[in-house]
Amino acid sequence: AQSVTQLGSHVSVSEGALVLLRCNYSSSVPPYLFWYVQYPNQGLQLLLKYTTGATLVKGINGFEAEFKKSETSFHLTKPSAHMSDAAEYFCAVSPMDTGRRALTFGSGTRLQVQP
Amino acid sequence: ETGVTQTPRHLVMGMTNKKSLKCEQHLGHNAMYWYKQSAKKPLELMFVYSLEERVENNSVPSRFSPECPNSSHLFLHLHTLQPEDSALYLCASSQGTAIYEQYFGPGTRLTVT
| Number of cross-chain residue pairs from A and B with Cβ atoms under 8 Å apart | 57
- Inspect the interface and report whether the beta carbons of B42 and A51 lie closer than 8 Å: no
Q: Is B103 on the interface with A (CB under 8 A)?
A: yes
pLDDT of residue B99: 56
Decide if B43 touches A, using CB distance below 8 A: yes
Q: Exposure string (b/e) for B85-110, b if CB count within 10 Å is 16 or more?
A: bbbbbbbbbbbeeeebbbbbbbbbbb
Q: Which residues of B touch A43 (CB under 8 A)?
A: 4, 6, 90, 92, 104-107
- Neighbouring CB atoms inside 10 A of B14's CB total 10
Query: B105: nearest CA in chain A?
Result: A43
| In the predicted structure, residue B10 carries a pLDDT above the cut 80 | yes
CB of B27 less than 8 A from some CB of A: no
Burial of B70 (C-beta count, 10 Å sphere; 0-12/13-18/19+): exposed
Chain B closest-CA separation from residue A46 CA (Å): 7
Band of pLDDT at residue A100, cut at 50, 70 and 90? low
pLDDT (tens digit, 9 = 90+) per residue, B95-111? Answer: 865 456 789 999 999 99
Higher pLDDT, B71 or A75: A75
**pLDDT, chain A, mean:** 91
Tell me how far apart the alpha carbons of residues B8 and B73 are, in angstroms, rounded to a whole number. Answer: 14
Best residue of B100, B103, B104, B108 to probe chain A, by most A CBs closer than 10 Å: B100
Asked if B66 reaches chain A (Cβ–Cβ under 8 Å), the answer is no
What tens digit of pLDDT does each residue of B48-57 get? 888 777 777 7
Average pLDDT of span A22-43: 90
**Which residue of B41, B100, B104 is in closest CB contact with A44?**
B104
Nearest to B45 by CA among A34, A96, A50, A105: A105
Lowest mean pLDDT among A6-15, A66-75, B19-28, B88-97: B88-97
The pLDDT value given to residue A66: 96
Q: What percent of chain B has pLDDT over 90?
A: 64
pLDDT value at residue B54: 74
pLDDT band (50, 70, 90) for residue A101? low
Residue A32 has its nearest CB partner, among B33, B99, B105, at: B99
Alpha-carbon distances of B16 from B58, B63, B80, rounded to whole Å: 24, 11, 5
A38-65 pLDDT, tens digit per residue, is 998 888 999 999 988 899 999 999 999 9
Nearest to B56 among A32, A42, A102 (CB): A102
